């Protein structure tokens, strides 16, 4: 989308506690008249703290893009309010837009422009004065220094994504929004992209990203909101989210074949994935690991290896999206890598 000239973040704005504040945000595509339509966003409240690396996690169709597109001024909300860097999107849409750099999902890059030319064009669109442009500094930040003068067509998928991140940063926004940043990027490049995003965050940029990859939210983000059917069903720090489930698994390998689950272990949820292995599921808040070890000893089993696993986001997600009236499309396991 062509941006009007002279869009730059107001330099005199104080740093707010929350980079983004959303209240009662609702979107019904087709407008208010679209009666009976399910809202794409349903009365969403959300705070993204300044300096956060924040994931908006949810399955396809959950409403993630709708939310960020409203913040970026690309979709008109039906109801509610939103503040971006303390600027109300209704009162000052240009100011709010200037505080955000948006990295879109698609990887459209014109083959005949070089990254340096791309950056200069974008800086021009945003009215960044030539002396204030930081083209090479930003390209360097995303690891594209050596490709600055290569044609777009020679850039790999990962490089294109990084160029789009650089492009979103030309007007020096305090908030960077990434829509599914690693969709279509292979696993090797994903780590590299994550490192670029972390580096920007370390420089003080608040990051809001949408993802349907649990791993991405878990590895990269310090705060996570889970969105499902247009509603925020959980929002917490990553660690608190992981503690929430308080579910652990003890994986025990013993020296011989186990046969039936021994009596002392029957009071725990135990399965036997291999003849000499036991998996015992327990809640660390209720059951001590030592108690389980005692039960294994009383069963006459000889432990040769043991490890415990914490709950992961996949389990939390399943718990949070369970039982919403049967209308929910339950996410398929494969969607959450």
- The residue ranges that bind ligand ADP (CB under 6 A) are 29, 40, 58, 60-66
Q: Which pairs count as long-range contacts for 256-260, CB under 8 Å and 24+ apart, including other chains?
A: 256/301, 256/302, 258/301
Instruction: Give the residue with the Cβ less far from ligand ADP, 59 or 101.
Output: 59
Min dist. Cβ of residue 81 to ligand ADP (A):
19
Instruction: Give the residue with the Cβ less far from ligand ADP, 64 or 161.
Output: 64
| Number of neighbours of residue 87 by Cβ within 10 angstroms | 22
C-alpha dihedral, 263 to 266 to 271 to 274, nearest 10°: -10
Using alpha carbons, select from 31, 49, 60, 52 the residue that is nearest to residue 230.
60
Instruction: Give the residue with the Cβ less far from ligand ADP, 98 or 232.
Output: 232
Min dist. Cβ of residue 92 to ligand ADP (A):
24
| The token pair that represents 78 in the structure block | 């039906």
| The token pair that represents 247 in the structure block | 């579910």
Q: In angstroms, what CA-CA distances link 239 with 8, 223, 236, 245, 246?
A: 35, 8, 8, 11, 11
How many Å apart are CA 319 and CA 242, to the nearest integer?
12
Min dist. Cβ of residue 327 to ligand ADP (A):
12
Min dist. Cβ of residue 56 to ligand ADP (A):
8
Contact between 254 and 301 (Cβ < 8 Å):
yes
Instruction: Give the residue with the Cβ less far from ligand ADP, 122 or 211.
Output: 211
Min dist. Cβ of residue 65 to ligand ADP (A):
3
Min dist. Cβ of residue 63 to ligand ADP (A):
4
Instruction: Give the residue with the Cβ less far from ligand ADP, 12 or 333.
Output: 333
Min dist. Cβ of residue 228 to ligand ADP (A):
9
Instruction: Give the residue with the Cβ less far from ligand ADP, 74 or 136.
Output: 74
How many Å apart are CA 303 and CA 321, to the nearest integer?
37
| The token pair that represents 327 in the structure block | 């209308």
Instruction: Give the residue with the Cβ less far from ligand ADP, 65 or 247.
Output: 65
Which one-letter DSSP state was computed for residue 57?
Answer: E
| The token pair that represents 76 in the structure block | 């008109």
């Amino acid at each position: 989308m062509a941006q009007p000239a002279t869009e730059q973040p107001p330099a005199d704005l104080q740093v707010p506690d929350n980079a983004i504040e959303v209240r009662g945000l609702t979107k019904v595509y087709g407008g208010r008249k679209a009666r009976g339509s399910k809202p794409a966003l349903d009365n969403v409240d959300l705070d993204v703290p300044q300096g956060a690396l924040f994931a908006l996690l949810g399955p396809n169709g959950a409403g993630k893009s709708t939310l960020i597109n409203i913040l970026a001024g690309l979709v008109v909300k039906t109801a509610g309010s939103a503040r971006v860097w303390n600027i109300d999107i209704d009162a000052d849409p240009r100011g709010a837009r200037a505080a955000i750099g948006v990295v879109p999902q698609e990887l459209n890059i014109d083959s005949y422009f070089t990254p340096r030319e791309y950056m200069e064009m974008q800086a021009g669109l945003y009215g960044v004065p030539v002396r204030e442009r930081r083209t090479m500094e930003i390209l360097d930040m995303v690891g594209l220094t050596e490709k600055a003068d290569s044609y777009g067509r020679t850039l790999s998928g990962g490089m294109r994504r990084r160029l789009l991140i650089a492009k979103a940063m030309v007007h020096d926004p305090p908030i960077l929004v990434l829509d599914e940043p690693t969709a279509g990027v292979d696993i090797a490049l994903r780590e590299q992209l994550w490192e670029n995003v972390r580096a920007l965050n370390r420089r003080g940029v608040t990051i809001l990203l949408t993802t349907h990859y649990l791993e991405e939210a878990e590895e990269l983000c310090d705060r996570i909101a889970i969105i499902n059917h247009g509603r925020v069903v959980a929002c917490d720090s990553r660690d608190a989210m992981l503690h929430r489930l308080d579910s652990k698994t003890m994986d025990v390998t013993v020296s011989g074949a186990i046969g039936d689950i021994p009596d002392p272990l029957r009071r725990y949820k135990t399965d036997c994935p291999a003849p000499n292995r036991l998996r015992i599921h327990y809640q660390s808040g209720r059951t001590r690991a030592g108690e389980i070890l005692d039960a294994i000893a009383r069963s006459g089993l000889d432990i040769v290896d043991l490890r415990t696993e914490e709950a992961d986001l996949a389990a939390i997600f399943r718990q949070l999206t369970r039982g919403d009236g049967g209308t929910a499309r339950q996410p398929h396991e494969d969607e959450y890598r």
